[in-house]
Amino acid sequence: MERPAVPLSTQRRSAWASLRSARNWQQLGKFCAVGAVGYLINLAVYDALLHAKVHYLVAATCSFLVAVTSNYTWNRLWTFREHRGHVGVQGMRFFVVSLGALGANLIVLHLLIAYADLGKLPAQAVAIVVVTPLNFVGNKLWSFRRARA
């Protein structure tokens, strides 16, 4: 069954209310703290794999898998604690959103290395930051969304 369209004025009020919500800003802060730890994990694993002569795109994928495991665990237990649903459903959604972010990350990483002549580690550091908003929005609105009453 199709849901009725929400008037634009209602959407604007809802968006404005979301921006004024202290809870949303607290969640964003927690998401960024978890992300900062994941960022450091990602870069450390990526750097170690580069030193082991692993291709930079393979290294980025492997470091992503390590970091995403940490990020999911901490976001589920801490950031979106009150939105805890079925671990399998949330885990799969988180993984799908993260795969989208990984795809965007790999594209940005390749472009920065191939065309901006950035080193592999600085390029990965920038690429992660560039795709973080996409990751947050996807996880807030889908992976850990509040259950409908």
Question: What single letter denotes the amino acid at residue 4?
Answer: P
Asked if the model's pLDDT at residue 23 lies above 90, the reply is no
For 77, list phi and psi in degrees, rounded to 5. -80, -25
Q: Are 71 and 109 in contact (CB under 8 A)?
A: no
What's the CA gap between 30 and 50, in Å, rounded?
Answer: 30
The proportion of the chain whose per-residue pLDDT surpasses 70, expressed as a percent, equals 85
Asked whether the beta carbons of 91 and 72 are under 8 A apart, the reply is yes
CA distance 126 to 89: 30
Determine the Cα–Cα distance for residues 1 and 146; give it in Å rounded to an integer: 20
Rounded Cα distance between 94 and 31, Å, is: 13
Cβ–Cβ < 8 Å for 143, 93: yes
User: 92-120: per-residue pLDDT in tens?
Assistant: 999 999 999 999 999 999 999 999 999 99
pLDDT interval class at 21 (50, 70, 90)? confident
Cβ partners under 8 Å of residue 110, min gap 6: 57
Q: How confident is the model at residue 146 (pLDDT cuts 50, 70, 90)?
A: confident
